[in-house]
Amino acid sequence: MEGTEEQEKKKATKIKTFPVPLASTKTKENISSNTSSKPSKELIINQAFKFHSKGNISEASKYYQFFINQGFKDHRIFSNYGSILKDLGKLQEAKLYTLKAIDESPNCAEYHFNLGNILKDLEELQEAEKSFRKAMEIKPSFLDAAWFLYLLSNNIEQAEERLNQCLKMDQSYFQAYLHLSAVKLHQGNRSLLKKLLSSTQKDNPMIRTLIWVSNLPKLPKIFFRRRDFYDEIINQSIKNRPFYEFGVYEGRSFKYLIKTLKKGFGFDTFDGLPEKWNDYEKGAFSTNGIIPKIDGGTFIAGLFADSLPIFFSEPRPKASIINFDADLFSSTLCALNYSKSIIDKETILIFDELIVHKNWENDEYKALNEFCSKNNLRYEVLAVSYTTFQTALKVIDL
C-alpha cells in the first residue's frame, strides 16, 4: 500500500509473554523429530518458549498448537499463543486463547492487560476498559494498564485524571507528562509546555507538535480515541457526498467511514510501502495484493503516480472527507495534487500521521504545506489526536 490506516498497526503493542524457563532436559530442535516417544508436557513447553524467545514465531506456533492439540492445558501457553495470534491480526482467536489463560490463572494481572489490548483493537472499548481496570485491581502499580486506560479516555477531563494517576504511580513517567502538557494546553494552560520548552527534551517530536498546535490561530478540539475522532469529523461532513481514502491497508477506517457516508473510493498498492518510511522497510504493511470487499466501496490498486492520473482524467464528485493515510511525503503530495478537483471549502481532510511521530515535519505535514503554498491556500485545523497522530482540517481560500 501507499500507507497505512491504523496507527495501532504501526506501533508495537505491549503484550506480556513468558520468558524461557530453565529447561531440565536437553530439547530437540524440531517437533517432528520426536517420533520415538510422545514428548512430555514440559518438553513441549520448554521448546515452545525457546523458539518464541529467539523470535522464531513459526516454530513456536507449531509447538503451541501441538501442545493444545494434545489436550494439555497451561496458562502460559494459552497467553503466549494468544499474543502471537494478536500480532498476526487474528484478534478473535487471540481473544479466545487469552480468555483460556485467564480461566487457568484468573489472578494474573498481565493476562487481563493482554485481553484489554486485544479488545481495544477489536473496538470493544468498554470491555477493554474493564480488563485494564481488572489488571490494576490485581496489581495496583500496573503502570502500563493505567496508561492504556488514558488511551481510552472519553473526554479531556477524564484524560487529565488518568494521566495524573499515571504520574502518581511514577513521577518520572515522561510520556504521561508530555500528554498532560497537551491536555493543559487545550484547557488554556500553557505552563507545562513552557517548562518543557526550557528542558533538555525540547526537541522531542511531541513537544514540536505542541509548539505547532499552540501557534495555530485557534486551538482545535482534542480527541483520544480513534472512533471519537472519526465521529466528530463525520458529524461535520456533508453526508450525501462520497469519501476518498489514500492508503487503505485492510480497510478498517474505510469500513467505519462508509457506515455513514455510504460510498467511498479507496486507493492503495496493497503490496506495502513503496519505499522505506521511518523504521519501516519498503513493503511493510502489505496485504499481499488482497483488496478488501466492502459494500459501497470502489478500490483502485496501484502506485498513486500510476493510478491517479487515470482516475482523475474524468470529473469526480466533491469529497465529504478525504483520509490521507499514505505516510510518505511523496505519496501524500501526489494524492493532494490529484485531489484538488474534489476539494472545496466543505471538504474535511484527515491526515493519519501528520503529527507526533519522530519525523512528522518531513512527511504528511510537509506535503500539506507544499500543496497549500503552491496553490495559495490556507487551512484551518479542526481536530487533533496526540494518541493516534491524526489531524483534521479544512482548506480555505480556494
* Statement to judge: residues 128 and 260 lie in one domain: no
* pLDDT over threshold 90, residue 39: no
pLDDT tens digit sequence for 165-192? 999 999 999 999 999 999 999 999 999 9
Between vectors from CA 281 to CA 355 and to CA 383, what angle results, nearest 5°?
A: 15
Per the CB < 8 A criterion, the answer to whether 341 and 356 are in contact is no
* Statement to judge: residues 164 and 262 lie in one domain: no
- What does the block give as the cell for 162? 488518568
pLDDT tens digit sequence for 387-398? 999 999 999 886
Query: Is residue 31 included in any domain, yes or no?
Result: no
Query: Is residue 236 included in any domain, yes or no?
Result: yes
Closest CA to 93 of 125, 59, 61, 67: 61
pLDDT category of residue 275 using cuts at 50, 70 and 90:
confident
Distance CA 187, CA 321 (A): 28
Q: What percent of the chain has pLDDT over 70?
A: 90
Domain limit, last residue, from 101, 124, 143: 143
* pLDDT over threshold 80, residue 161: yes
CA-to-CA dists, residue 384 to 33, 153, 356, angstroms: 55, 14, 10
pLDDT of residue 129: 98
pLDDT of residue 88: 86
Per the CB < 8 A criterion, the answer to whether 80 and 17 are in contact is yes
pLDDT of residue 282: 83
Number of domains in the chain: 3
**Which three-class secondary structure string do you get for the chain?**
CCCCCCHHHCCCCCCCCCCCCCCCCCCCCCHHHCCCCCCCHHHHHHHHHHHHHCCCHHHHHHHHHHHHHCCCCCHHHHHHHHHHHHHCCCHHHHHHHHHHHHHHCCCCHHHHHHHHHHHHHCCCHHHHHHHHHHHHHHCCCCHHHHHHHHHCCCCHHHHHHHHHHHHHHCCCCHHHHHHHHHHHHHCCCCHHHHHHHCCCCCCCHHHHHHHHHHCCCCCCEECCCHHHHHHHHHHHCCCCCCEEEECCCCCHHHHHHHHHHCCEEEEECCCCCCCCECCECCCCCCCCCCCCCCCCEEEEECCHHHHHHHHCCCCCCCCCEEEECCCCHHHHHHHHHHHHHHCCCCCEEEECCCCCCCCHHHCHHHHHHHHHHHCCCEEEEEEEECCCCEEEEEEECC
* pLDDT over threshold 90, residue 310: yes
The mean-pLDDT minimum among 3-7, 66-70, 109-113, 225-229 falls in: 3-7
pLDDT tens digit sequence for 204-258? 999 999 999 999 999 999 999 999 999 999 999 999 999 999 999 989 999 999 9
Q: What is the pTM of this model?
A: 0.86
Query: Is residue 5 included in any domain, yes or no?
Result: no
Q: Average model confidence (pLDDT) for the chain?
A: 90
pLDDT of residue 11: 42
Total length of the chain: 398
* Statement to judge: residues 286 and 384 lie in one domain: yes
* Statement to judge: residues 129 and 192 lie in one domain: no
pLDDT of residue 116: 97
* Statement to judge: residues 134 and 169 lie in one domain: no
CATH number of the domain enclosing 70: 1.25.40.10
* Statement to judge: residues 264 and 382 lie in one domain: yes
* pLDDT over threshold 90, residue 17: no
* Statement to judge: residues 126 and 260 lie in one domain: no
* pLDDT over threshold 90, residue 312: yes
pLDDT tens digit sequence for 89-109? 899 999 999 999 999 999 999
Distance CA 111, CA 125 (A): 17
pLDDT of residue 16: 63
Query: Is residue 18 included in any domain, yes or no?
Result: no
- Domain interval for residue 346: 224-396
* pLDDT over threshold 50, residue 302: yes
pLDDT of residue 40: 84
pLDDT category of residue 276 using cuts at 50, 70 and 90:
confident
